A and B are shown apart, each in its own frame.
Chain A
Amino acid sequence: NATEAQHDEL
């Protein structure tokens, strides 16, 4: 999903 917060970036 485009806006799903994955937060895999730092």
Chain B
Amino acid sequence: MNLFRLLGDLSHLASIFILLHKIQTTRSCRGISFKTQALYVTVFVARYLDLFYRYVSLYNSVMKLFFIASSVYILYLMKYKYRPTNDPSIDTFRIEYLLGPCVLLSLIFNYKFSVTEVLWSFSIFLESVAILPQLFMLQRTGEAETITTHYLAALGVYRALYIPNWIYRYITEDGVVDPIAVTAGLVQTGLYIDFFYVYFTKVLQGQKFELPA
């Protein structure tokens, strides 16, 4: 564990709390893509199956359980408690275009051709693109509530911090590198660049998040 990874994980935790706070206080999941949230549940369940057969640390297990539980809870809030505020007609990204390639990539690129390792690879590839339905929705509506942009920013910071974490590990752990996680991670972080540009130039200057028409 190093500082970059810890701060990254805390930023990930913060993003979930921000999202829950947004839904609870506005009593609405307007502006949140159900598809992206459902993809995160898929990601966490596929990756954290190792809870059953591998112990890394208490920190690791607690975080995994939290990510699975909170992501399922968010789906519940969107699908049941605040269902009327969820508008599927603007959440139109075709996720089969993400799932198909991720299945294919995980069958080709994995560290061992076993069910759990392929699922792990799949979860890494899927996480890298899971935000696309959300960004697509943002693009379509052209604006977002400030709190929603804080949620996305925290998620983006989490991904960005994993990059110095890998560099740090490469240096301190004698050349250790996880090519699958790094490649997918770089792609994932790249997806946030446009968003961050608007976030820093508008939202953090006190303006509303609005995309140019």
User: Which residues does A use to contact B, with CB under 8 Å?
Assistant: 2-10
Contact = CB atoms under 8 A, between A and B. Distances in A.
Given A3-B179, A5-B117, A5-B120, A10 B111 contact: no
Interface in B43-66: 47, 50, 54, 56, 60, 63-64
Closest 6 CB pairs of A and B: A5-B111, A8-B56, A10-B63, A2-B177, A10-B9, A3-B111
Interface in B5-43: 5, 9, 12
Contacts of B162: 9
A4 B63 CA distance: 23
B176 A2 contact: yes
B67 A2 contact: no
B190 interface: no
A2 B173 CA distance: 10
Contacts of A4: 111
Contacts, number: 31
Given A5-B111, A10-B9, A10-B12, 5 more contacts: A3-B111, A3-B178, A5-B112, A6-B178, A7-B120
A2 B12 CA distance: 26
12 contacts: A2-B176, A3-B111, A3-B179, A5-B111, A5-B112, A5-B120, A6-B178, A8-B60, A9-B5, A9-B162, A10-B9, A10-B63
B102 to A, nearest CB: 17
A2 B111 contact: no
B160 to A, nearest CB: 15
Nearest to A1: B176
B181 interface: yes
Nearest to A8: B56
